Amino acid sequence: MTTVMIGYARTSTIDQKAGLDAQLRDLQAAGCTKIFKEQLSSVANNRPELERALEFVREGDVLVVTKLDRLARSVADLVAITAALKEKGVELRILTMNLDTATPTGKLMLNLLGSIAEFERELMLERQREGIARAKADGKYKGRAPTARDQAAQVVDLKREGKSVKDIQNILSISRASVFRILKERREAC
């Protein structure tokens, strides 16, 4: 079976042309015969070109990325992607880390990196919770700003005055969906 190298390149914005060009150059130099590329934030719920790449790869192929952060946005994301690749019999290669999951060392390193990242995240969340508890005890923690539900009475009053949903939205600086949700809840309560 011939190993096919499939590349995936991503930049967060269309303004990062040089970054995308550098990734494409590195992926071609690594021997990728097909490259999927996109220019959008990893926080976007869907990355269509990554999804296409994951559908395209076949058993024995290698998915190649230049950096880990170009592929995964979190440890959970990394775990899901590597599980999907493993299920298809596809290896992962990360060029800047010289990491290749086709080797036992590469598999170990990927698992260690994932574990360390998860550990760091847990520590950060623990420190955050401690900081919030300390701020609450000192009376400095205010919590989230009031939500649209806190303005329910005003929404109903403005609607009774004959204001449109758009007017209510603008006056109270709340979303259209919030206005409709409040009005619906009030009708159901009557």
pLDDT per residue as tens, the chain (190 positions): 678 999 999 988 777 788 899 999 999 999 999 999 998 765 656 889 999 999 999 999 999 999 988 888 777 788 889 989 999 999 999 999 899 988 999 889 888 877 787 788 788 889 999 988 898 888 888 776 667 778 888 999 999 999 998 999 888 888 888 899 888 888 866 5
Parse the chain into domains and list their residue ranges.
5-116, 148-189
CA distance 90 to 167: 55
Which CATH architecture does the domain made up of 5-116 adopt?
Answer: 3-Layer(aba) Sandwich (3.40)
CA distance 74 to 166: 38
- Give the single-character DSSP code of 141: -
Supply the CATH classification number for the domain 148-189. Answer: 1.10.10
Q: Is 12 marked active-site? A: yes
Residue 67 phi, psi dihedral angles, 5° rounding: -135, 155
Chain-centroid distance, C-alpha 55 = 19
Q: Which helix (H) or strand (E) holds 6?
A: strand 5-11
Name the catalytic one among 12, 41, 42, 115.
Answer: 12
Task: Count the Cβ atoms, other than its own, within 10 Å of residue 168.
Answer: 24
At 99, is the secondary structure helix, strand, or coil? strand
Residue found by looking up tokens 């955050």 in the block = 128
Spatial contact of 62 and 91, defined as CB atoms under 8 Å apart:
yes
Contact 63, 4 (CB under 8 A): no
Q: Give the distance from CA 114 to its chain's centroid.
A: 16
Structure token digits, residue 14: 């269309």
| Single-letter code of the amino acid located at 18 | A
For the full predicted model, state whether its pTM sits above 0.85: no
